[in-house]
A = this chain, B = another copy of it.
């Protein structure tokens, strides 16, 4: 398996953190101080979570970024990660994937500590898993913490990474290389009552927050910060892949980072939309579900 040997050599060149011990062991050995750990893991499957023709380096970046985005939503600081990689039988693809992964890990200071490299049957879609560990403050904002009366906020703009009517991402760079909001998450964690990242679509993720917190959420579509002029707010709010932070604050509290107030939590259940002060029926599809 010359491909595997080359891949493991390239992997060792990335895994320079002492806890990785040169990947000479089956395990990573990490000394920690007392405190709170955040653990998250995301799997990306070819043709399900990305298009087979998406550049390999962007898949490496994105696999790191989606996990970092989950850490960001808890206000966590990355500690390290484990990579479970399916050898593709295409050494160029493997090499480009690792380069993109390494770029994201370096950019966001998340060392590679270990994982597993496996062969897959010829022709099988790639399945790539990254597990990330971070440290957070005790008062971690979960999805469950929103209370009636809280305001709903979102960082950045919504809708740029979604697919336009031509079937292509509206902003290819944002689609290929999402930016986890680590600094914003760390600033927001002490004040947010609930927080999560927008991965599958603003509406579907807001409804998940409402369900987890057992509150009703009303979103004013006119207030949704659109990534591109002329974008339909409903299209933007159901597109997904934004990786912005969706969070609630007690009424009257201003966020410590740039963000937009888009709604409110109340007594009850479910998600309600308004535009121009009038109710808007929920679209049939609230976001982009990849299964889980």
Other-chain contact of A290, B37, B113, B119, B124 (Cβ < 8 Å): B119
| A141 → chain B closest CB, angstroms | 10
Q: Is there an interface contact between A34 and B36, defined as CB atoms closer than 8 Å?
A: no
A118-B45, A121-B48 given; A142·B290 CB < 8 A: no
Closest partner residue, chain B, to A292 (CB atom): B117
Instruction: Indicate if the CB atoms of B212 and A24 lie closer than 8 Å.
Output: yes
Chain B residues near A133: list those with CB within 8 A: 39
Tell me, rounded to whole Å, the shortest Cβ–Cβ distance linking A118 to chain B: 5
A38 within 8 A of B: yes
Please indicate the chain B residues that have their CB under 8 angstroms from the CB of A34 in the complex.
32-34
Q: Please give, as numbers and ranges, the residues of chain B lying within 8 Å of A113 by CB-CB distance.
A: 39
Q: Does A25 make an interface contact (CB < 8 A)?
A: yes
A127 at the interface (CB under 8 A from B): yes
Whether A291 touches B71, Cβ cut-off 8 Å, given contacts A28-B39, A124-B125, is no
Q: Which of B33, B82, B142 contacts A39 (CB 8 A)?
A: B82
A161 interface contact, C-beta 8 A:
no
User: Would you give the shortest CB distance from A64 to chain B, in whole angstroms?
Assistant: 15
CB of A43 within 8 A of CB of B87, answer no
Shortest Cβ distance from residue A38 to the other chain B in the assembled complex, whole angstroms: 5
A278 surroundings in chain B (CB, below 8 A): none
Supposing A121-B45, A292-B8 touch, asked if A36 and B40 sit within 8 A by C-beta, the answer is no
Q: Give Cα distance in the complex from A37 to B116, angstroms.
A: 18
Select from chain B the residue with minimum beta-carbon distance to A124. B125
Mind listing 26 A-B residue pairs with CB under 8 Å?
A1-B291, A25-B143, A25-B196, A26-B143, A27-B39, A28-B38, A29-B36, A30-B36, A30-B39, A31-B36, A32-B36, A39-B82, A39-B133, A40-B82, A41-B115, A41-B129, A43-B84, A43-B127, A45-B120, A46-B121, A48-B121, A117-B291, A118-B127, A118-B291, A121-B125, A124-B125
Cβ-closest 5 pairs across A and B = A119-B291, A117-B292, A127-B127, A28-B39, A27-B40
Besides A21-B142, A24-B144, A27-B38, 12 other CB < 8 A contacts? A30-B37, A30-B38, A32-B34, A32-B36, A32-B37, A39-B82, A41-B114, A43-B116, A48-B120, A85-B292, A118-B290, A127-B127
A residues in contact (CB < 8 Å) with B: 1, 4, 8, 21, 24-43, 45-49, 70-71, 73-74, 76, 80, 82, 84-87, 113-121, 124-125, 127, 129, 131, 133, 136, 138, 140, 142-144, 196-197, 212, 289-292
